[in-house]
Structure 1
């Protein structure tokens, strides 16, 4: 990185090139926006931190063209079984059965370092993305009263150079101790969860693998709650609660770690890959935007690790924000649209964190009598036979922001992505229809919609007719889905059309052609904020 100032004004500057920052750079670069992204670290951290992905994140990876590369480092998440005080099964999370609603396995485990490298390399390949590594933010200047002025970022390189970059908008993806968040004065709200845990990753050999459970397990034991996760290939993770009086640094030593693992393994059964003590927190930004600066990923929130939602939430953040920045920078929407980012993501993060805290409270009950009451209650509620609960049921919908004012349970949920047949090979819907505004409709129940010119000019939606009946034969230009995923979705929600946002969330649904026309007629005003 050369010293001095640059006269160029980027559309967006991203501080932090971890997973959230790299996905943001890919999405914005794919849109053709000019992007500057920096990170103080030159290399990807070589140890795993995040371990879980879900189908929404894989759909984003598909959008930026890296899903196949990521899949080589991922595997379906095994069921997660929860065992109580006396070893009884009390809860079970798993995946929905195929056909999968988003055309990817709903829950996955993955190896973070190579996946993060894939995301970085893809961003570097975008013509409008400039990457500066070994480069740290030291100051930030913006004139809140003159929003048309770009934000100025003062950066220092690890070679001692000083540099100023200017951008119309800034996304802070620089982690839990975010410098950018501090510089713009955004505070974090404590959602009251504070637990010391030891996280241990082991590369297990054949002898060790034979000793270990075949599913992921949550040991809800008052004496020491702990989690066992089956990662890809021979990667296994333990998250082990630390007890009062235990020194986190001492417990993270090799000797102490193997002592904690002795219930399952000996040092002859594998190699320690990482052991680190953490305090698991529940924090969320009080504001997600300050002027032209936005926070995302760990800079905006930190959650307990239960169900592995940390990295997923950061990707959701930037997927929500990127298309809105594009719309504003292209003159298709007023800057006020960007306020919906914090509204939507802040509410979602709070709701999901609340649900994760409930799971954490279930897992971390230290009173033996109360833990036995918990076990009895859960077993009784299941009728004595524990039923599998899909992990994705924990995800809340968007409940405010840019969604239709006509209340409907489908609004703010993710629309499915079917496999489309009829060509040489089945393909996922987004590969044919892109990720802009789309109106997906049942082509046998509704003629191709005709929308007002103002709507067509503002949104330029793509019309996607779907049919599921293989015997009926698709009408002209309609797509035939393989498994009836969309047809089932329409049937469950009592509609024949859905208006999809560029991030695949449902803006609104319609039961008739007139209903659809009424929905879109009010839309230009809503996208202006």
Structure 2
């Protein structure tokens, strides 16, 4: 092991190169942060896991310049239907086919290995970002100046070490970084075994449909998910008296699938029993150690928000780390990462648990509270995205903590491609003194001359300006010039990070 003075130094070390770790590394690469990603495995795990992400995630992928590379690997999801044991519809959670205010569609299906490969290849664009596979981190020694990261190079058994300003654990549910932080877990009460089955169709089965289906059969709840290409997934509840190994055997798997599909229709790609949890780490930061993704929170899959939550973590954290590392913000700003993200993710987890209750009960009334009932018709479910928790948002101002829309510029391009991963002032005109002050602080400016729909959006909300953070959340708004002056004067945001588009 090298002595401390000889260790390589990085601003940030990321433990884990899954979708969250790779997204965070790309965001830090965009910011110019010296980053090392340490991944235990040699290559991308080849089997499906997460299968859904939303418009906010795609907007993050746009930010890191990889949306166009990801699009060929996704399909649009029309939504999800909840059916009772007789096939009658209980809940209709259809998704619009039009673009959302984020500039993307609301729901995408994907094959996780394809996404990970795109995100990993994207790291090669950043000369200050390094990826080391087959590196197993075993110790984190934190002091006031940084963290000594010790790991084993599994290709040769050599023990290695580097120094980091900060370490982010994107290392999953059994997170080593979380153990070094010393965080306990808050249990939200959902723990169920489900058999996850992935198949590859041998022939067309258009009758299976494109909607996800939640079969709310109390005898054996099940979920069907249309994947990309020939991939289809079923998730089936494991009963209390069943053995996890026995239920995952091929003969039993095909028996459970027989009402929908047979071996003549499809090839079994994977069948494994997972326990779906609902837990949140109590402490996401300890000094220079932080958590993101499944290391910080785990949710039942019924909303399709597990990976999405981790991508939001990355978008929230990267610009704050960059500001601290460059000396543009005090390290205390990193405490706003948990205070903002935890209430947001908790609300999604609690809704997923409620939807799980719909799937698992005969008493439809218990689940229908999630939507708005209509006489003689299924409940129409709509899910509103939660607000950020308290932190770097002026919560007493209109729209603060909400996502800002993405505008179409006069040349037809999306506004995020121009503004980059930066603070942006949305204002009718750039002529005001406050706009010049914003420019001097590195804040980008977008006006109604740039995007014709910006002015009507401001007027709709009764404001003259909105200050938007790099993660696209509204930091604060102003109803007049005096309020705008105070809003700009109160912050010293990071300087502009150019778009990766």
Q: What TM-score range do you get, normalising by the shorter chain?
A: over 0.9
8 Å CA contact retained: 1:452, 1:521: no
Q: Could you tell me how far apart the structure 2 residues matched to 1:435 and 1:525 are?
A: 12
Q: Could you tell me how far apart the structure 1 residues matched to 2:225 and 2:27 are?
A: 31
What residue number does 2:278 align with? 282
CA deviation digits over 1:387-428, x for unaligned, max 9? 6444xx3421113111014243x2111111122233xxx211
Q: Could you tell me how far apart the structure 1 residues matched to 2:377 and 2:426 are?
A: 40
Please, which of 473, 482, 490 is the counterpart of residue 514 of structure 1? 482
What residue number does 1:152 align with? 148
Please, which of 436, 461, 465 is the counterpart of residue 493 of structure 1? 461
What residue number does 1:479 align with? 450
1:94–1:495 distance in 2 versus 1, CA, 3 Å: farther
CA deviation digits over 1:124-176, x for unaligned, max 9? 33100111110011111012xxx3x1100111011200101100111011111
- Are residues 1:437 and 2:427 paired? no
2:264 is paired with a residue of what secondary structure? Answer: helix
TM-score (norm. length: structure 1): 0.88
Question: How far does residue 452 in structure 1 lie from its aligned partner after superposition?
Answer: 8.2
Deviating more after overlay: 494-503 vs 85-94 = 85-94
Deviating more after overlay: 96-105 vs 51-60 = 96-105
8 Å CA contact retained: 1:49, 1:112: yes
What residue number does 1:398 align with? 388
- Are residues 1:427 and 2:413 paired? yes
1:284–1:152 distance in 2 versus 1, CA, 3 Å: same
TM-score (norm. length: structure 2): 0.93
Count of aligned residue pairs for this structure pair: 493
Question: How far does residue 107 in structure 1 lie from its aligned partner after superposition?
Answer: 0.8
Please, which of 407, 424, 434 is the counterpart of residue 418 of structure 1? 407
CA deviation digits over 1:335-386, x for unaligned, max 9? 1111100111112111211111111112222xx4x34x44787898223333
- Are residues 1:460 and 2:407 paired? no
Q: Could you tell me how far apart the structure 1 residues matched to 2:369 and 2:404 are?
A: 35
- Are residues 1:70 and 2:70 paired? yes
8 Å CA contact retained: 2:437, 2:488: no
Question: How far does residue 321 in structure 1 lie from its aligned partner after superposition?
Answer: 0.5
2:303 is paired with a residue of what secondary structure? Answer: coil
1:260 is paired with a residue of what secondary structure? Answer: helix
What residue number does 2:227 align with? 231
Q: Could you tell me how far apart the structure 1 residues matched to 2:245 and 2:63 are?
A: 41
What residue number does 1:449 align with? 432
Q: Could you tell me how far apart the structure 2 residues matched to 1:7 and 1:214 are?
A: 52
CA RMSD of aligned residues (A): 2.4
What residue number does 1:381 align with? 373
What residue number does 2:211 align with? 215
Q: Could you tell me how far apart the structure 1 residues matched to 2:238 and 2:431 are?
A: 60
**Structure 1 unaligned spans of 5+:** 467-477
Question: How far does residue 220 in structure 1 lie from its aligned partner after superposition?
Answer: 1.1
Q: Could you tell me how far apart the structure 2 residues matched to 1:377 and 1:157 are?
A: 52
Q: Could you tell me how far apart the structure 1 residues matched to 2:162 and 2:296 are?
A: 23
Q: Could you tell me how far apart the structure 2 residues matched to 1:384 and 1:487 are?
A: 42
What residue number does 1:474 align with? none
Question: How far does residue 182 in structure 1 lie from its aligned partner after superposition?
Answer: 1.0
1:325 is paired with a residue of what secondary structure? Answer: helix
Deviating more after overlay: 224-233 vs 93-102 = 93-102
1:454–1:42 distance in 2 versus 1, CA, 3 Å: same
CA deviation digits over 1:303-331, x for unaligned, max 9? 00012111111111111110001111111
CA deviation digits over 1:10-65, x for unaligned, max 9? 11011111111111111111111111110110110000100001111111111111
